[in-house]
Chains A and B, each alone.
Chain A
């Protein structure tokens, strides 16, 4: 045939440009696919490639190949290709699309992949309304692995793992993915199509294009389920297999549109523009302007400072905050500090405690197993930690009297009803700050300016800040009064 003759024809069915000219990623037979004769994947691939061509999105398209017979989609599609783990294509597609909103992300999955091992991923991607397109090829069986039962296998259908046929009493009923996902609010378009005859194939082609177009318009999640023949595993001829799709499969899986919100769906919002790089330290709150270069004030008696503080009490008494203010003020005063909470269920209820270290030298271990100051906000805490206090150390106890069974003659004790005193200030919940005030007065290490700064950083509510400041002052005063009464000496010798 001469070229003059050809020029008289217009080409109606060329190979889509979204396919490679030659399948060079394949080992051999690079001019044809690896699919069996009569397999539906060839049809579905072609419909998808044509949709990509028609929408002019080849460069922007990223195809997520699954595990199963269509694992090699990247042999054929001349688009960006990512091959995912079994069932995880919707998770992979989610992240690709979210980082690259301009790309067109298409997940391609079989029924074992999507409806069994990947049932969580598809459900949640659909429920989030990810702006992706999912092509779900349902042939009612695991084909790549040789014909095992799938969630989509028909009742009575034989497979290598249901040799007597699928029995609902054992394997449950066929899973209707479209019907299931259509109950969710977020998906925009869900349709089931078939490859049972030419009419169905024409409709499938239309649906495929629509599902991709929805994404191009930014509308959200679209899924097309395709009832697809598998002559090899079904042990049928291609013609019989196609007929079986129409005559048998379709009875269990009726075709149609299960959800269409394309008219009312709003396009996904465009992401906010990213801030300039130089803005990041400020946004993260680590900018040097937020962090003073020099200590706010110098610690008193710094050379001797080596505080090992254990704070303990009930959850809700402000144990952790007490420790945090102490550590933060220490840092402000140019000391080395660490703060370590007990964490876990204690955060919710029960007891709570934390370890605080303040020292002139670098802190070797943040764990305080032998405290030189114990702040016990309740009796169980005293019971738990009293014996661990270093001889010569301090026990600050929240109670009218110090329980005699814990009395030691080798530690200093300050026992006062701090909660009641806090209550007198206006709120029993500032007992922690009254006790901190006493601790600060005892240790005499941290300048007031550092404490004030720490408190302002950590307590944002002005009402609480004012109350906390008064509570701290009250704590200092209480210790001084008790000193005068009992003649205590401060730990740091001041």
Chain B
């Protein structure tokens, strides 16, 4: 087994340090504070820097400094704090600085509440800062994935020289599950573009400023090409009884877990249902949707927000299949029973019965 029971939020920090992260700047906010607290405990012991900043604005700009110095760095926050960080995220995307931001979502808008929502989707996946940029967004649904996707986030951030967001809801951040960590830590290494206070890096410049129109346009096109490469190579989703399913349930984070439970029960009743769980929200796994649309009759988007994920599903399907929608908010979770009832009703209306059968779960 080699697993230990650990909170999703804490798993993020341990994984980050094993992934070579050596700087954490944060600001407390429920339900993300355990990440900052764990970083405060472990960063100084592992040769890293920890500082609680005076605001999320300062925290993200500290990441700008740490990343400029060539250090793998991260921060963590939730909705209102992520809003404040959008300035720095835009600057980092523009200056092509890698960093990892964990967003443990709570309710909004404004102060909202501290319940678990998924309503940061737009501000994170579509980008809440100014300018033509994207951030890669990873959506874990278990404590193990909090660790695994944090490690992946650091890899992708470096590979694409861009901020990467780990987007989880409050439940995934707060829950404890068994997690296995790698035993070999990534060795921090200095990228050649960093400004490191040495003769070799003296000629380097970190900036998002391009005064000349043509220069800026060329820069934006370069960023765009990078995003297209990410769209081609990095889109990830989990299929759960999805191949051949007539009803496809779509959800990420904690909702993905509920959908799996519902699927098990609905299939036992003979309803041909499966789950398609996006793991990357940007790049959105469009091809997975398009492939599964050949067999599926209907897609059902379930989210703890008001149709934010729904928009991307509709764009991916481009009208080839109907998309039904079930949403909860304010900290409420779509219950197993209400999703199951929704699926049963859909099945009665549209589908044929199938015999439950053993199927393999495909991870893509």
Contact = CB atoms under 8 A, between A and B. Distances in A.
Partners in one complex: yes
Interface of A: 25, 27, 58-62, 64-65, 71, 74, 78-85, 88, 91-96, 98-100, 102-105, 120-121, 123-124, 271-275, 277-278, 280-281, 283-288, 290-295, 324, 327-328, 331, 334, 336-341, 343-345, 363-367, 369-370
Interface stretch (B149-157, B201-209, B298-306, B349-357): B201-209
A92 B23 CA distance: 13
Contacts of B196: 80, 100, 103
Given A88-B57, A364-B257, A82 B197 contact: no
A92 B207 contact: no
Interface stretch (B118-126, B181-189, B281-289): B181-189
A91 B53 CA distance: 9
B4 A81 contact: no
Contacts of B174: 340-341, 343
A102 to B, nearest CB: 6
Contacts of A25: 205
Interface string B42-58: 10111111010111011
B211 to A, nearest CB: 7
Interface stretch (B14-22, B226-234, B314-322): B14-22
Contact of B202 (A58, A94, A345): A58
Contacts of B14: 284-286
Given A95-B23, A291-B3, A284 B46 contact: yes
Contacts of A82: 64-65, 68, 195, 205-207
Interface string B333-362: 101110000000000000000000000000
B69 A343 contact: no
A292 B180 CA distance: 11
Given A284-B181, A288-B183, A293 B1 contact: yes
Interface stretch (B132-140, B160-168, B216-224, B258-266): B258-266
B25 A95 contact: yes
- The CB with the most chain B CB atoms within 10 A, among A62, A91, A291, is that of A91
Contact of B176 (A123, A288, A338): A338
A369 to B, nearest CB: 5
B362 to A, nearest CB: 15
Given A84-B64, A96-B68, A124-B58, A344 B31 contact: yes
Contacts of B207: 65, 74, 81-83
8 contacts: A58-B202, A60-B197, A78-B202, A85-B64, A91-B57, A91-B62, A339-B175, A366-B254
Contact of B258 (A99, A328, A344, A367): A367
B88 A344 contact: no
B5 interface: yes
Contact of B4 (A78, A102, A286): A286
Given A82-B195, A94-B51, A275-B45, A327 B185 contact: no
Contact of B178 (A83, A84, A278, A331): A331
Contacts of B37: none
Contact of A277 (B5, B170, B187): B187
Contacts of A366: 171, 175, 177, 254, 257
B177 A344 contact: no
Nearest to B263: A364
B54 A121 contact: yes
Interface string B11-45: 00010011000110100001100000000001011
Contact of B49 (A99, A120, A275): A99
Given A80-B204, A84-B64, A59 B3 contact: no
A99 B170 CA distance: 31
B111 interface: no
Given A81-B195, A120-B55, A344-B31, A95 B201 contact: no
Contacts of A81: 195, 204-207
A95 B24 CA distance: 9
Contacts of B2: 288, 291, 293
A364 B255 CA distance: 10
Interface residues of B, number: 82
A61 B3 CA distance: 46
Contacts of A328: 5
A364 B254 contact: no
Given A277-B185, A344-B115, 8 more contacts: A95-B23, A95-B61, A96-B69, A275-B47, A280-B18, A286-B14, A339-B176, A367-B257
Contacts of A277: 184-185, 187
Contact of A283 (B42, B49, B91): B42
B87 interface: yes
B273 interface: no
A327 B5 contact: yes
Contact of A344 (B62, B114, B183): B114
B199 interface: yes
B29 to A, nearest CB: 12
B192 interface: no
Nearest to A347: B30
A280 B87 CA distance: 33
Closest 7 pairs (CB-CB, A-B) = A274-B47, A103-B197, A95-B65, A92-B65, A83-B207, A364-B261, A88-B61
B128 to A, nearest CB: 15
Contact of A367 (B87, B115, B208, B336): B336
Contact of A343 (B5, B64, B170, B184): B170
B336 A365 contact: yes
A283 B196 CA distance: 27
A438 B206 CA distance: 62
B61 A337 contact: no
Contacts of A94: 51, 62, 65
B146 interface: no
Nearest to A284: B14
- The CB with the most chain A CB atoms within 10 A, among B54, B69, B91, B212, is that of B69
B300 to A, nearest CB: 16
A339 B142 CA distance: 11
Contacts of B30: 343-344
A96 B22 CA distance: 12
Given A340-B175, A365-B260, A367-B333, A83 B206 contact: yes
- The CB with the most chain B CB atoms within 10 A, among A64, A80, A324, A337, is that of A80
A102 B201 CA distance: 14
Interface in B61-104: 61-66, 68-69, 71, 73, 87-88, 91, 95
Contacts of B205: 25, 74, 81-83
A343 B197 CA distance: 44
B1 A59 contact: no
Contacts of A340: 171, 174-176
Contacts of B91: 84-85
A294 B204 CA distance: 51
A70 B87 CA distance: 20
Contacts of A339: 5, 175-177
A95 B72 CA distance: 12
A290 B209 contact: no
B220 to A, nearest CB: 17
- The CB with the most chain B CB atoms within 10 A, among A81, A102, A288, A293, is that of A81
A96 B51 CA distance: 13
A93 B65 contact: yes
Contacts of A338: 175-177
A91 B23 CA distance: 13
